[in-house]
Amino acid sequence: MAKRDYYEVLGLSKGASAQDIKKAYRKLSKQYHPDINKEPDADAKFKEISEAYEVLSDENKKAQYDRFGHSAFEQGGFGGGSGFGGFGGFGGGFSGADFDDLGDIFSSFFGGGGRRSNPNAPRQGEDLLHRMNISFSDSIFGAKKTIKIRKDVECDKCYGSGAKDNSSVETCKNCHGSGVETVIQSTVFGQVQSQRTCSSCQGKGKTIKDKCPHCFGKGKNNKEVEYEVEIPAGIKSGQRVRLQGKGGPGINGGPAGDLFIEVIVPEDKYFHRDGDDIYTELEISPAQAALGATIDVKTLTGEIELNVPAGTQYGRKFKLSGKGVKNVMGYGVGDHYIIAKIVVPKDLSTRERELYEELAKLRNEKYSEEESFLKKAKRKVNDILDEL
């Protein structure tokens, strides 16, 4: 089951002050402390309250939670969470309807039902997921993007009630506002009494005599909406940004859910990212590797001069401290590693071959003295073209 919103756990609205958070925690921790409260679920509630307070009372953790939700504290940064509805088609685990069905099954055998929640109580809307492609550069430096999505929004005429006016809302005559109805079934064990969701009001406890003409009684309309998304510097492909209160509309006056923006970042042809570090290859010639050289290299923030010392070997790693990616959670900056790649020329001019042969002789190294007619002819042609 998806975690409840930490603000909801403490009975607070989003954006509550530090004083309000502390006050709410003190009140609830006393109420549900296992040494005081002997209800079966008191221990679980106390742990949930403590976890919410631990995050919201810490300024840095609270800022991360406000921006990324529970994803900020999952393994691997803010990885994929389950339990989303809407765009992503998520929704693992049991839904509320599943538990209602299980309750009905047990109650049909044992003649009773568990404690049911108030069908008219305010409930938070569902969280939504939207995927967005961004450039490699935007993932490194951050950006502001505008997105357009289609989603259900609360009807601005009936404010989610689905009724034409207040007088059109009536208490359900079948369940008398409870949202459930009693059913008597004949079984091999005799007649068994059970409860199920009211067939007249579908568990809402209310019926609508005259429906809202703008949403046809649904309480919501599907519209295209536009949001500005702030992409934080250092975000990686698959991570998410949280837009509080921009998800599905609340139920019975409850708060709206959250909208999560999952970014997709393409690989860059020059820079390779590994965590917050950047890796690039530097192609140098055998002469540059042997004699040393000062070479212009490209970094995330522009070109710099790199001193390649004499005798550099293939695969040597040069470290540019603090030239990597800014950590998206604010934990410093990565490094940039440059890997030396010695590239041997394939087509040598006559003079170049003579010099390589002379070098091989000086170093007493064996080399192929025979060269095919085709290669010789090709070299001659290249020499003539160079002279022209």
In the chain the domains, ranked by start, together with CATH numbers, are 1-57 (1.10.287.110), 58-264 (2.60.260.20), 272-342 (2.60.260.20), 350-387 (no CATH)
Residue-wise pLDDT for 324-382, tens only, equals: 999 998 889 999 999 999 999 988 888 888 899 899 999 998 888 765 555 666 666 77
Name 197's Cβ contacts closer than 8 Å, sequence gap at least 6: 100, 179, 180, 181, 203
pLDDT band for position 162 (50/70/90)?
confident
Residue 367 backbone phi and psi in degrees, to 5: -150, 165
DSSP string, 249-313: PPBTTPPP--EEEEEE-PPPSS-EEETTEEEEEEEE-HHHHHH-EEEEEEETTEEEEEEE-TTPP
pLDDT digits (tens, 9 = 90+) for 53-84: 989 998 888 888 888 888 777 654 444 444 45
Higher pLDDT, 131 or 13: 131
Contact 181, 198 (CB under 8 A): yes
Q: Are 237 and 267 in contact (CB under 8 A)?
A: no
| Cα 127 to Cα 337: distance, rounded to the nearest angstrom | 40
What pLDDT was estimated at residue 300? 96
- Which pair of tokens denotes residue 252? 């019975």
Give the pLDDT of residue 104: 45
Letter for the amino acid at 155? C
- Which range of 19-28, 243-252, 272-281 scores highest in mean pLDDT? It is 272-281
Question: Is the pLDDT higher at 371 or at 238?
Answer: 238
Q: Which of 83, 86, 344, 348 is nearest to 225 (CA)?
A: 86
Strand-pair category, 259-264 with 128-133:
parallel
What average pLDDT does this structure show over 214-230?
A: 92
- pLDDT classification of 90: cutoffs 50, 70, 90: very low
Total length of the chain: 388
Mean pLDDT of the chain: 83
Residue tagged 């030239």 (tokens): 323
Please give the average per-residue pLDDT across 188-207, as a whole number: 81
Q: What band does 1 get if pLDDT is binned at 50, 70 and 90?
A: low
The whole-angstrom separation of Cα 381 and Cα 359 is 24
Per-residue buried b or exposed e for 256-271, using 16+ beta carbons within 10 Å of the residue's own CB: bbbbbbbbebeebeeb
Query: Which of the listed ranges 76-85, 181-190, 194-203, 283-292 does the model predict with the highest average pLDDT?
Result: 283-292
Least confident window among 98-107, 183-192, 214-223, 251-260: 98-107
Which pLDDT score, from 0 to 100, does residue 188 have? Answer: 67
Predicted confidence at residue 69, as pLDDT, reads 83
Give the whole-number percent of the chain exceeding pLDDT 70: 82
